[in-house]
Structure formats: structure tokens, C-alpha cells
Amino acid sequence: MQLTFYKYQGTGNDFVMIDNRQLKFDKNDTKRIAFLCDRRFGIGADGLILLENHSTADFKMVYYNADGNESSMCGNGGRCITAFAKHLGMIKDSATFEAIDGMHEATIDNTVVSLKMQDVPTVENHKTHVFLNTGSPHHVQMERYLDQLDIKTKGSKIRYGSPYNEAGSNVNFVYKNSNDNFSVRTYERGVEDETLSCGTGVTAVALAMHYIGETEKHTITLQTQGGVLKVSFEKAENGYDNIWLIGPATKVFKGEI
């Protein structure tokens, strides 16, 4: 079967994009999805995203990790699918779409896509880390020597360790550059390695840094391995709302496989 695909990336977080409005793609074929994401034998990506029709919104987003399994929300993927929908002529400069964690709004200005994330009602502050769910579960901990970390080894130990165990958590390591600027490196479950950027991850970092008093700002700049993202938010009673993830999302190429 011939498959037309598009490759998109948001600060180095890359995705295979497929227009599945005709519902011809087999969603149950996890081996095929994993093959398409394979960087040696397939196209190569951190995940695969299907764009589908929706009865009331502009479109629906179905996201799979590189291991072939449908996953929780992907922030950079949400920004990339918005750029993809504009490329297909489905939207102009704004969109509403449904993802696995509910409805989202997005705006697009040239290559910059701003995605409204779900509210975060609770944040857990532990002695060594912060835990919160920004559409996906995230462990956030500060590190003094971020560049020297073996992210895959250290991240996997935390990801599979107690209390996360089999369900697992994404793991973010953070260094404070200034009051409103932080460097982040992320180990992603499902990819089982470091990714150049993670949208729900930098969102979690921004909220966590505000929650524990490392910043009083409500717009935070996050330096990832793949580029710069911004997160803006408002403090709610116990958590955060009006959360926006902002950064570039661009088409890399179109192909057939």
C-alpha cells in the first residue's frame, strides 16, 4: 500500500503527519506505526499523528508514540498538526481541535504556532522533584550540570522507578539561566530516549518553576536541545489555567512510502 505522508518538526520534535480524513489508515497496526517512526528502516520520527475530521471542531488529532502505541497529549505535535491543517487549507490563522485530553485552541502566525493547553488543577511538590500532568505526566527536577547528564540512563531509571512503575512518567531535567529563562532536557516515555524538545514537558517545567518559587514571571522562556519555546499561564487557586505553549512548527518534507 502506497502511503503519502508529511514530515513536520517543532523545535526538533519531529512527527510523521498523515491526512486520515478518509479513515484509510489502520490504527491498530502498531508494528506499522513503529516502522514508519523508525529512523533506520522507516521515515524516522518521535511520533506519528493522524489528522481526521471532527463533527464540531476543525479537526481531530490522533497521536502515537514512536513505539506504535497511542499516547497521551503531545504539545509540539498539537502545534505541528495546526500548521499541517493550515497547509491543507482547512484553517486560516486559528483552529479548534480535539486531542486525547480534550478540546484545544490554537493560533498560527507565519511559522509560530500558539497552542492552548488544558488547565492544570494540581501540582505535587516533593523534596527532590515536582510532579504534574500537562496532558501527559511529567517529573521535573533541577540539575546543576545539565550538559553533563546521561539523560537516557538517568531518565529511564526515574521513568520506570517508584512511584511511576509500569505506567511511567516523562522526565525533565532543568537548569535556571535567569529569572524567566530555563534550560530543559527531556526523557520521553514511548520514545524511551531523550528528545530534542517536548511541548508538554516545557509546559510542566514552566509551571513547576513558578510553583516552587524559582520565578514569579507568568511568561517563561525554555531553552531545549532543539530550540526555544515560550509558555505563558495564569495562577489559579491550586494550579494553573490559561496556559499557552508558543513556538515554531514547520514542514520539513512530503513523501511517499
What are the residue boundaries of the structural domains of the chain, listed by start? Answer: 4-111+249-256, 124-246
From its phi and psi, is residue 23 left (phi > 0), alpha (psi between -120 and 50) or beta?
left
Catalytic option among 198, 229, 246, 249: 198
Q: Tell me: cis bond preceding 248? Omega within 30 of 0 counts.
A: no
Say which CATH topology domain 4-111+249-256 has: Diaminopimelate Epimerase; Chain A, domain 1 (3.10.310)
Report residue 1's pLDDT band, with 50, 70 and 90 as the boundaries.
confident
The 10s digit of each residue's pLDDT in 95-118 is 999 999 999 999 999 999 999 999
Catalytic option among 74, 132, 184, 231: 74
Examine domains 4-111+249-256 and 124-246 and report if their fold is the same: yes
Q: Is position 74 annotated as part of the catalytic site?
A: yes
Q: β-pairing, 47-52 with 13-19?
A: parallel
> What is the pLDDT averaged over residues 70-88?
97
Burial class (CB in 10 A: 0-12, 13-18, 19+), 128: exposed
Largest CA distance in the chain: 54
- CA-nearest of 153, 154, 227 to 197 is 227
Say which CATH topology domain 124-246 has: Diaminopimelate Epimerase; Chain A, domain 1 (3.10.310)
The 10s digit of each residue's pLDDT in 159-190 is 999 889 878 999 999 999 999 999 999 999 98
Q: Is position 37 annotated as part of the catalytic site?
A: no
